[in-house]
Structures are given as structure tokens and as C-alpha cells.
């Protein structure tokens, strides 16, 4: 859901404090809800309700972004393939 904020209520300072928005897809399966963050490959969450799954997705996004920032420019210690 997008909420329009009138230009008079925004400023460059406010915009820098507004968290970025990410597109999600909510799925119902196996008796619970799953959320895929469409803008962040591999970022997903689950919950007993839609609301819980979305709230968990917020935490997953923060973790995903933190890890991406922490590893930016880092050289992997090991790289290899594994099977599931």
C-alpha cells in the first residue's frame, strides 16, 4: 500500500529519515503465511498470520541489509558448491 504525502509535509531532511520501501508477496501454504521480499533475492519470512509474516519480513529486510553492508567489499574466505 502506498501512502501519498503532500509535498508541503516533506523536506530533504525528512526524506533521508524515511526507510526505503520494498515490494513483497504474501503466500498462504502449509497452514501459515510466507512473505517473499521481491526486491531482495533470498529474503523471506513466515508467520502464523499475514500480519506476523509481514512484521517478520521487516526484521528479515533489516538483517539482509545489515549483512550486505557488513560483507560489502569483503573477500570470501571459501567458495564452493553444496547440494541441498
| Choice between 27 and 12, residue whose per-residue pLDDT is larger | 27
**Mean pLDDT in residue range 17-35:** 94
With 0-12 CB in 10 A as exposed, 13-18 as middle and 19+ as buried, what is 69? exposed
Q: Which residues pair with 36 in a beta bridge?
A: 25, 44
Q: How high is the pLDDT of residue 4? A: 46
pLDDT, tens digit, 9 for 90 and up, residues 2-22:
444 445 555 556 555 788 999
- The domain spans of the chain are 20-71
- Percentage of residues in the chain having pLDDT higher than 90: 71
Instruction: Map the chain to HEC letters.
Output: CCCCCCHHHCCHHHHHHCCCCCCEEEEEECCEEEEEECCCCCCEEEECCHHHHHHHHHHHHHHHHHHHHHHCCCCCCCCCCCCC
Q: Which CATH architecture has domain 20-71?
A: 2-Layer Sandwich (3.30)
pLDDT, tens digit, 9 for 90 and up, residues 39-58:
999 999 999 999 999 999 99
Record the pTM.
0.71
Amino acid at each position: 500500500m502506498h501512502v501519498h504525502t503532500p509535498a508541503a509535509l516533506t523536506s530533504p531532511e525528512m526524506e533521508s529519515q524515511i526507510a526505503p520501501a520494498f515490494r513483497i508477496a504474501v503466500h498462504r501454504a502449509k497452514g501459515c503465511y510466507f512473505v517473499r521480499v521481491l526486491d531482495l533475492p533470498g529474503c523471506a519470512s513466515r508467520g502464523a498470520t499475514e500480519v506476523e509474516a509481514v512484521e517478520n519480513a521487516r526484521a528479515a529486510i533489516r538483517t539482509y541489509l545489515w549483512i550486505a553492508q557488513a560483507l560489502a567489499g569483503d573477500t570470501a574466505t571459501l567458495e564452493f558448491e553444496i547440494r541441498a
